[in-house]
Structure formats: C-alpha cells, structure tokens
C-alpha cells in the first residue's frame, strides 16, 4: 500500500517538473560557487537540497515485469530441479526452438505443426463467437429495450449462465453428430451470455437525458437506434465481446481435449499421451500468449470507441 503511494507521488513530481528534474541531474551533488554566494547575500532564502530525478514510470514498470518473470523462471527451475517429471526452463526452451522452427508442417491428421493447431482453435472460436455475436447482440438490445422481455429472459439466463459450457457438449454431439460442430456449438453457448447481458445492461444504462433529446425531437426509431442507442451501448457491447472471447478461449482448450481433431487443446492431450511434458508447457505458454493478444486487441478496440 505505502509503496504505491510513494510511486504515485514520484509520478506527480515528474509530471510537475519535467524540465527541472532532467536539468538538475549533473549539478545534483554539490552547490555551485555562485549559488553559495547568492545564498550568503540573501540568507532568508532557503537552499533546497537537489533531488535525484526519479526514473520514468515505464522504465520502472519494465524492470518490475522483468523481475516478476525472472522470479517465475527461478521458481520453475527449482521445482524442476527437485526431481520428478517436470522439465526445466532450459529443456522447454530447446524444445520450443525446435517446434517453432517449423510451426506449419503437416504429417497426417494427428501430427501437424503448432501453428495449424492454434489456427484451427482460433477458427472454432471465431465461428462460434461470431454466431454468438449475431444472436446475442440483437437479443441483448431487445431484452434491454423491453422490460417484459427482459423479465421473461431473466430466469432462463439466470439458470443457464452458471452451467459449465462443457455440459452442453453431449447435446452438441447429439444435435450435430460430429465433433467439430459440437465444439463450435459449445463456444457459441459460452460466448452468448456475456454478450446478451452486457448489451442489455448497456441499453438500460443509456442516460435518460439522451433519450429525452430523442423524445423532444421525436426522432424515428431508426434514428434513435443509430444516433443514440447504438453509440451509447457500444462500449458495453465491446466489454461483452471481450468477456466472451476470454471465456471462449478458455473453453476451447477443454472442448478440444474431449472432441479431438486438430487444435491446441487436442495437441495438449496428444502430447500428454506421448508423455512430451515440455510440449505441454509450450502449449500452456502459447495459449496464454494468444489469449493475451486477443484481450489486448479488444482493449485497443474499446479505447477506439470510448467517448470520454
């Protein structure tokens, strides 16, 4: 807590006197002769000790990140060094160099490069999520706009939302009689709820003032939608999209473990059967990186559409 407070103050100091702090750097340790003379002539003026310029915020952040990651790798190496089957960072690194040297090889349906596996997982997420957006966003608008429909939908959503998406997998297999559409279907279901809920909340949160403007001008429903509802709801919708993508990326790994085929989840399971533990760890990092990239892309998108 206190360290955060100190950091904040330092940041303020940097913002408040950027020129002085950079200029004071070389003259920091001792008072110059002229300054001393000036001080003796006007004794009432206090002479402040010059402070060292604090490092810029981003630099300290980078250092903190590096320390965090280094600590993580050290603990990992220690755990691996205690024996057992966990490979250390070195072994994983050399395996990773090997794997990423040729990420797009194809040797039959069950032996493909990690690039293909990630791409097929992303494709499933893309299709399932896209369908969920097509259904969920309009549904969210309707539910948000009409109280009765919202009350109608409330118990269904409340009941189905906490269900693990994987519980829907057998229904998907039953409906589609194939593994791939069933996995997409699971993604669809799990992406649906955050988008419906966030869009509906967004519609309900549109300030009454904006709607009064529409009422006073008697704008057509279409104008109300395009000029007021849609832009006002957009930030909420993007939040829904972000949550959906996050959940979908979590769920696809588990779904693919169950359905098989090509995909990063299946790859994890396959490497487990081959007992190539370093590959599993590589897959974990890859899944993490892709998830992070998806998240960051949507954060950028959200920033693009925020008005304040």
Looking at 38-46, 68-76, 208-216, 249-257, which segment touches other proteins (CB under 8 A)? 208-216
Stretch that binds other proteins, among 49-57, 181-189, 219-227, 296-304 (CB under 8 A): 219-227
157 in Cβ contact with 196 (< 8 Å): yes
Taking a C-beta distance cutoff of 8 angstroms, is the pair 195, 136 a contact? yes
Compute the least distance from the CB of residue 210 to other proteins, in Å. 6
Burial status of residue 54 (CB atoms within 10 A of its CB: 0-12, 13-18, 19 or more) = middle
Instruction: Provide the H-helix boundaries in 146-273.
Output: 147-160, 169-176, 179-205, 208-217, 221-223, 230-259, 264-273
Among 89, 103, 231, 260, binds other proteins (CB under 8 A): 231
Please tell me whether residue 223 binds other proteins under the rule CB under 8 A: yes
Residue 36 and residue 304: Cα distance in Å, rounded? 54
The correct pick among 212, 293, 297, 303 for binding other proteins (CB under 8 A) is 212
Q: Which is nearer to other proteins, 85 or 218 (CB)?
A: 218
Per the DSSP assignment, residues forming a β-bridge with 106 are 112
Q: Which is nearer to other proteins, 106 or 212 (CB)?
A: 212
Is 221 one of the binding residues for other proteins (CB under 8 A)? no
The single residue among 19, 107, 218, 304 that binds other proteins, judged by CB under 8 A, is 218
Report how far residue 273's alpha carbon sits from residue 210's, in angstroms, rounded to the nearest whole number. Answer: 59
205 contacts other proteins (rule: CB under 8 A):
no
List of residues 6+ apart from 184 with CB closer than 8 A:
124, 127, 128, 131
* CA 31 – CA 272 distance, rounded (Å): 67
CB under 8 A: which stretch of 89-97, 171-179, 223-231, 291-299 binds other proteins? 223-231
Size of the site for other proteins (CB under 8 A): 17
217 scored as a contact of other proteins (CB under 8 A): yes
Q: Which is nearer to other proteins, 145 or 227 (CB)?
A: 227
Whether 143 and 150 have beta carbons less than 8 Å apart is answered as yes
CA separation, residue 199 to residues 39, 118, 158 (Å): 66, 29, 16
Q: Among residues 215, 288, 299, 303, which is the contact residue for other proteins, using CB under 8 A?
A: 215
Q: Does 307 bind other proteins (CB under 8 A)?
A: yes
Nearer to other proteins, 19 or 218 (CB): 218
List residues near other proteins by CB under 8 A: 207, 209-210, 212-213, 215-219, 223, 227-228, 231-232, 307-308
């Amino acid at each position: 807590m206190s360290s955060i407070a100190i950091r904040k103050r330092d940041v303020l100091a940097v913002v408040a006197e950027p020129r002085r702090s950079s200029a004071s750097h070389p003259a920091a340790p001792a008072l110059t002769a002229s300054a001393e003379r000036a001080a003796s002539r006007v004794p009432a003026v206090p002479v402040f000790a010059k402070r060292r310029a604090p490092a810029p915020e981003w630099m300290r952040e980078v250092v903190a990140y590096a320390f965090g990651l280094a600590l993580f790798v050290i603990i990992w190496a220690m755990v691996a060094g205690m024996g057992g089957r966990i490979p250390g960072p070195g072994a994983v690194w050399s395996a990773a160099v090997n794997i990423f040297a040729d990420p797009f090889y194809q040797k039959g349906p069950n032996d493909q490069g990690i690039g293909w596996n990630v791409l097929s997982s992303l494709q499933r997420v893309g299709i399932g999520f896209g369908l969920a957006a097509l259904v969920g966003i309009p549904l969210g608008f309707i539910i948000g706009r009409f109280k009765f429909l919202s009350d109608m939908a409330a118990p269904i959503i409340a009941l189905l939302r906490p269900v693990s998406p994987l519980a829907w997998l057998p229904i998907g297999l039953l409906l589609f009689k194939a593994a791939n559409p069933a996995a997409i279907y699971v993604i669809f279901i799990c992406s649906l709820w955050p988008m419906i809920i966030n869009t509906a909340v967004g519609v309900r949160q549109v300030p009454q003032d904006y709607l009064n403007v529409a009422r006073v001008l008697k704008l057509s429903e279409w104008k109300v939608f395009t000029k007021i509802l849609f832009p006002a709801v957009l930030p909420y919708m993007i939040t829904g999209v972000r949550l959906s993508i996050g959940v979908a990326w979590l769920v696809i790994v588990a779904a693919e473990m169950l359905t098989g085929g090509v995909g990063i989840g299946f790859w994890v399971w396959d490497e487990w059967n081959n007992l190539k533990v370093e590959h599993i760890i590589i897959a974990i990092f890859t899944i993490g990186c892709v998830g992070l990239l998806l998240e960051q892309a949507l954060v950028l998108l959200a920033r693009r559409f925020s008005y304040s």
